[in-house]
Amino acid sequence: MVGESLKGIEDQVVKLREKINYHNHKYHTLDSPEIKDSEFDALFEELKSLEARNPNLITDDSPTQRMGSIPLESFSQVRHERPMLSLDNAFTEKDLEDFENRVRKNISGNSFPTFVGEPKIDGVAVSLIYQEGRLSRAATRGDGLIGEDITKNVRTIGTVPLALLGSDFPLTIEIRGEIYIPIPEFENMNLALRKLGKKEFANPRNAAAGSLRQLDPSETAKRPLKFFAYSADYQDQNEMPSEHSKVLEDLDHWGVRTNPLRKILTGSSACSVYYDRLALERPELTYEIDGVVFKVNSLSLQKKMGFLSRAPRWAIAKKFPAEEAVTYIQAVKFQVGRTGALTPVAQLEPIKVGGVTIRNASLHNMDEVRRLRIRIGDAVLVQRAGDVIPKVKKRIIGQSKAQTQEIELPLKCPVCGGNIIRDSGLVVARCLSGWNCTAQKKERIRHFSSRLAMDIRGLGNKIISQLVDENHVVRISDLYSLDHKTLSCLDRLGSKSATNILLALEKSKMTTFSRFIFALGIPDVGESTAKELCLFFGNLENLAKANEEALLQVPDVGMVIASNVRQFFDHQDNFDVVMELLDLGVTWDEEISREYKPLEGQVIVITGTLENYSRQELKEKLELLGATVSGSVSKGTSMVIVGESPGSKLKRARDLGVKIFSEIDLKDFLEEYRV
């Protein structure tokens, strides 16, 4: 009897979950509820009560678990099985025609290719993995290869099903899409913040990104997040339909929300008509879109066309033109950057541009201010284009306020009070305080810690600000003297996060010469210039003592960069910091000289998950040896490096007879060439 009773309760729980999931789908995805809120609440309370009395029946995919997670200390990293790539852009109808012609080269006959067009949601790209119909993992896009595990936060979003409907779904499926905040809810969020005197969100996308990175899932649950799916990948490729449009229909069938405005289109002319239609409908939409995405509908044709290193060849995005509005400049403040450069920022009378309220816009530099001939109190045309910071495009003549005021460069640094210099012939004005300026110090540490520099994971902007404001970090080298007690005492930083940062600091000590030089933040020395300098001089000693004449021999190095490099190493404080970093254990293998390129002309593809290298790290090592690293296997591929779960690239390499290297082979190979 007891067994039968427990079985009866379990059946009741399963049926309640099915009912709640069904009504959640009708409410959140189809926007057509069938029952009253009070009836839904009664079902939900009944399920909660049964689970409370029978906790052994609680599962992760139960509707009651959307807000049941304890706060996280940090986000763990996730390596995507397939890279989450960017899209190439089309700006004109000719670009769309060229895209169509590239597609037609891969199909027989003179038929026009079929595309699927859909709005390009201006949100946060995420990957959702369902196993046996249950949401098992959610991750951000990150850098396209590695994202962050945000599963607990995504479970709180009503439009993301915790369990797929029906039973005919694949055993494992990855669903990709965008998480966003609707415009009306975004405005309500900012109104509430304004009433509390708190800083408002810049736009819905930033608000969505910040919401997904809350360490406490219950905070994420308070945010009005929604989800649209735009693609899926079935683990068993044989189960996939033949067309992308059919994949989206499958998702609809399983209760996953897809965009209802998508449309199947034949030829670039139909794509242009669809784009124009969405541009007209855009102001009436309740969510932000910044363009239209067109994808080849045939999945076999997608596979045939393949990928470039950063984007699929079978898809393209056509962005909408920049949006503009007229408002007034109320004041101008000056921001201080990493190199001491002062940037004037216009504080505007709040104005809506494309559904987003704009309050600040960049004026770039004082030459731009003079060119535009603008003053405080002038009416100006403000332009916003996608993710680009809003900028003042021009002054509106005849609409200024009665009293206007000239915009003047401050005599002293607005942050530290230090001296400002603007050399004749140079556009930029700079604060000369260097490390004594708090603003420059924070920006230099942010740059030093960034992914393409020393790659110190977990050292975010808020943590850096606290470390500087509380004098824990006075010089960059102080980062490597931080201890667990200091870090764990920072605001909202737990013991585990402190440990992770210390591990990241220790890991960052083993770097490359070019990353280290880039991390130092020498003005105008970007990632590629740092590589050229390191390849040319080979070691730090040679670079540090090189005169301007020697520096000018480096490809792409002109008078300004040569002067900046020489000035950097001539400054005693800079040289001392470099020596301190080396004494604290920062090290690298010597760079291979420019002339030594054993892999010159070789095309190498990396596939699968590598145990001992990140993709970026390995790419850098191979490029040092002269190789070109590609994202797709072709007849011209020289070698494929294979990690775990390599996917279709390995089969393609075997079919073409391309040389295949395991990670063990690779290690021996790199050691032979000292990289």
At residue 645, does pLDDT exceed 80? Answer: no
Q: 133-176 pLDDT, tens per residue?
A: 999 999 998 878 888 899 999 999 999 999 999 888 999 999 99
DSSP 149: B
Give the amino acid at 142: G
pLDDT top residue among 308 and 480: 480
Pairing of strands 289-296, 114-121: antiparallel
Q: CB 284: neighbour CB atoms within 10 A?
A: 6
Give the amino acid at 351: I
Rounded to whole angstroms, the Cα distance separating 397 from 136 reads 58
> Longest C-alpha distance within the chain, in Å?
93
Q: Which of 46-60, 196-210, 460-474 has the lowest mean pLDDT?
A: 46-60
Sequence-distant (6+) residues with CB within 8 A of 562 are: 548, 551, 552
Rounded to whole angstroms, the Cα distance separating 335 from 442 reads 13
Q: Where are the beta strands (DSSP E) in 504-592?
A: 510-512, 587-589
pTM greater than 0.75: no
Number of helices and strands in the chain (H, E):
24, 24
Pairing of strands 226-234, 172-180: antiparallel
Average pLDDT over residues 336-351: 91
Query: Which residue carries 């001089």 as its tokens?
Result: 537
Asked whether 203 and 480 are in contact (CB, 8 A), the reply is no
At residue 593, does pLDDT exceed 70? Answer: no
At residue 330, does pLDDT exceed 90? Answer: yes
Q: How confident is the model at residue 505 (pLDDT cuts 50, 70, 90)?
A: very high
Using CA atoms, how far residue 200 sits from 34, 181, 353, in Å, is 37, 14, 16
pLDDT, position 2: 45
DSSP 489: T
Sequence-distant (6+) residues with CB within 8 A of 340 are: 413, 430, 431, 432, 433, 434, 437, 440
pLDDT, position 1: 39
Q: Which of 24-38, 226-240, 388-402 has the lowest mean pLDDT?
A: 24-38
Average pLDDT over residues 583-609: 75
Pairing of strands 587-589, 323-336: unpaired
pLDDT, position 570: 92
pLDDT top residue among 460 and 61: 460
Rounded to whole angstroms, the Cα distance separating 476 from 487 reads 16
Beta partners for residue 201, in sequence order:
none
pLDDT, position 501: 93
Give the amino acid at 225: L
Average pLDDT over residues 317-324: 84
The catalytic residues are 120
At residue 558, does pLDDT exceed 80? Answer: yes
The mean of the pLDDT values for the chain is 85
pLDDT, position 609: 77
Tokens of 233: 């990948």
Q: Which of 110-124, 481-495, 590-604 has the lowest mean pLDDT?
A: 590-604
Burial of residue 411, with CB atoms counted within 10 A of its CB: 0-12 exposed, 13-18 middle, 19 or more buried:
exposed
At residue 565, does pLDDT exceed 50? Answer: yes
DSSP-derived 3-state class of residue 308: coil
Tokens of 351: 């104005």
At residue 618, does pLDDT exceed 90? Answer: no
Beta partners for residue 476, in sequence order:
none
Percent with pLDDT over 90 in the chain: 40
Q: 36-95 pLDDT, tens per residue?
A: 666 776 787 788 788 778 777 777 677 776 654 455 566 788 888 888 888 888 888 899
Give the amino acid at 499: T
Rounded to whole angstroms, the Cα distance separating 84 from 128 reads 12
Highest mean predicted confidence (pLDDT) among 47-56, 200-209, 251-260: 251-260
The DSSP element (H or E) to which 304 belongs, if any, is: helix 299-305
Sequence-distant (6+) residues with CB within 8 A of 93 are: 268, 272
The DSSP element (H or E) to which 179 belongs, if any, is: strand 172-180
Domains of the chain, first to last: 2-58 (1.10.287.610), 89-317 (3.30.470.30), 323-406+414-421 (2.40.50.140), 434-508 (1.10.150.20), 512-589 (1.10.150.20), 603-672 (3.40.50.10190)
pLDDT, position 566: 94
Q: How confident is the model at residue 3 (pLDDT cuts 50, 70, 90)?
A: very low
Rounded to whole angstroms, the Cα distance separating 334 from 410 reads 8
pLDDT, position 549: 87
Asked whether 414 and 337 are in contact (CB, 8 A), the reply is no
SS3 sequence of 396-450: CCCCCCCCCECCCCCCECCCCCCEEECCCCCCCCEECCHHHCHHHHHHHHHHHHC
pLDDT, position 309: 60
37-76 exposure pattern, b = at least 16 Cβ within 10 A, e = fewer: eeebeebbeebeebbeeeeebeeebbbbbbeebeebebbe
pLDDT, position 423: 63
At residue 29, does pLDDT exceed 60? Answer: no
DSSP-derived 3-state class of residue 673: coil
